Structure 1
């Protein structure tokens, strides 16, 4: 089975269309259900086909995460004990939406979300001390199912301008869902441009200028 067209170095995967959908599944693993990540790590990616009971479990777990998050924040006012509530489902999406706009939707949503998840992991490492191991786990799990984990195609200034008009921005202040730790999402409001640029530079493929 060929590797994903968007990431020549990635592991064999169920195909580009399936991989795109798995970005949202893996996202749910990071924000709420670590068992999702374990299942991906334990399973041969070539076995995640339409008949796979593991794929069925992954999807069911992701659907449950989304249902629980929405049920816990019906009015979109935030969850209990500082949880971002429904906003947690935006993990990885602020940069993802900017990439889609700047690339005129040549990058598919799931691929953009995968890149966005790595970006916010790098951002959390710089602003909140997220562990390097958890940042690397983003790359490993997303790459394992054939999703891109590097990106340098668009100038950062173009992406920054697109992020500033994203629906999740509050006025001129950018908001990102980041992790304090595995399954512990929080909102990071107004990170410095230096931190944003550093997190974006960390997405560059090995050997590319940063």
Structure 2
């Protein structure tokens, strides 16, 4: 009797394992089909920003959905895929808009949830990464934001003139200066290497403006 019970238990365990394996095979196949259909619907067109948004969401949610429920907050993050996608993104702000339109959440907020501070810095630094110009030329070289970047007013450096997302082209390189931040008594608090950059005021039109950006926050092309 004991032997029969033991055999039944073994048989049950074997069948359970077989069913489990078949389930995961079918689930993986269904996931691939679903992703292919979603890619065709969302990201296979000419809008590369929608494509990047879709790929980023997949990296945030490698487990997809189970019984229609997203595992995005439970199944980890495909950081390798995120970093690879980051190197291809041209304009982070445009991808952010596409992502929010598709998934009803802010891309920057999702990145902050999925990545550590150091990984987040790596992600932003990889956006549209190309070899930096070794010798920027005034009036010719373009300045691109590596991370979300503010332009400071040369007449009042604590005042922000404009802001850009990572990957955005800021404007044209004019030169570099060292900005020494001082307290009310005139004591030097820090020395900051700044890039002097000029840009058009609104969407490339209107009067040009000139400001400072932190050199560590930008690259040249």
Q: TM-score range by the shorter chain?
A: under 0.3
TM-score by length of 1: 0.26
Q: Which has the higher contact order (CA 8 A, sep 6+)?
A: 1
Is the radius of gyration larger for structure 1 or structure 2? 2
TM-score by length of 2: 0.25
